[in-house]
Amino acid sequence: MSNAIIDCKFEFKGQTNEYKGKVRDVYTLDNGLLVMVASDRISAFDHILPKGIPFKGQVLNQVATMFLKATEDIVPNWLMATPDPSVAVGHACEPIRVEMVIRGYMSGHAAREYKAGKRILCGVPMPEGMKENDKFPTPIITPATKAEEGHDEDISREEIIAQGIVPEAMYLKLEEYTRALFQRGTEMAAERGLILVDTKYEFGVKDGEVILIDEIHTPDSSRYFYSDGYQARQQNGEEQKQLSKEFVRQWLIEHGFQGLEGQTMPVMPDSFVQVVTDRYIELYEVITGNTFEKSDTSNITERIQNNVDAYIKAL
């Protein structure tokens, strides 16, 4: 297998802090910038899998960059540059501790809750008579609290405002941005023969202004269906053909793991790691319409260090 970015530690000029997320490693600089390294780690059920997925970080970084640039007329975002295929540099913001999840279809978490008999999710009613992967009459926003560790928790608009997590006026602005971003993502997906099923957005505040941060419309943060044959598959009760990391979750479930207490993470054979890499590259090419160009992975850490150093020096 090719080299993968799994557990790297960088020292950049002016670095004041380092934060390691499930997938991204974020370095804060003393000039108010962040260096975000998209690793090749992959997580599911809030657990990081033991093996890295070669080129996954590059896919995420380049897909997110495309969509951030394509939506900057809707909401300002944090991104300034991508000095390396797996690195983004941008403005440091104060994160808003709410993930804005929006769902156009009854899939994933919403479908699981619906099957369990629930008809209200995050304070939002879900119509009777729906089946998995049906389209909602109107996309629903189902926020989640942003946990430092462990599972994010569902929360309603009313609870967010009542608890003072976000002021009401700001929260309404987040909803407005979320719907506009989802509409743009839906239109761009449709041009590529895809359906944007659901996704999440994260926001921060800089100089009193709401800023879009992190990644958007990537396979880690979003679910896509192929539009061709969608209706026929729904009518026939068949599973939808999708581009997301849901297949990784399904593989884990089939091997007895859903992140629950007492369960053991299964060993990923190299053959499955290659399948995951191929699926991520497929998603990149379908979403962007471009051929994926694999970066040089002979010495990834040196490549990243040199590229970021050169960018910082040129500022």
- pLDDT recorded at residue 1: 47
Cα separation, 245 vs 267, whole angstroms: 17
DSSP bridge pairs for 206: 209
pTM for this entry: 0.91
DSSP bridge pairs for 37: 25, 87
CATH code matching the domain that covers 94-243, chosen among 3.30.470.20, 3.30.457.10, 3.40.50.1000, 3.40.50.360: 3.30.470.20
Cα separation, 251 vs 272, whole angstroms: 9
- 3 state SS of 263: coil
Residues 27-83: pLDDT tens digits?
A: 999 999 999 999 999 988 888 998 999 999 999 999 999 999 999 999 999 999 999
Percentage of the chain lying above the pLDDT 70 cut: 98
131 secondary structure, DSSP code: -
Please compute, for residue 98, the number of CA atoms within 13 A of its CA located in the half-sphere on the CB side: 28
Residue 135 CB-density burial (10 A; 0-12 exposed, 13-18 middle, 19+ buried): middle
CATH code matching the domain that covers 15-93+273-314, chosen among 3.30.200.20, 3.20.20.140, 3.90.1010.10, 1.10.3720.10: 3.30.200.20
Cα separation, 268 vs 277, whole angstroms: 13
Phi, psi of 274 (to 5 degrees): -65, -40
Neighbours of 83 (CB within 10 A): 18
- pLDDT recorded at residue 229: 97
Residue spans of the domains in the chain: they are 15-93+273-314, 94-243
Q: What is the mean pLDDT of residues 117-142?
A: 97
- pLDDT recorded at residue 243: 79
Residues 67-110: pLDDT tens digits?
A: 999 999 999 999 999 999 999 999 999 999 999 999 999 999 99
Reading the block at residue 34, the tokens are 């962040």
> Is residue 287 very low, low, confident or very high in pLDDT (cuts 50, 70, 90)?
very high
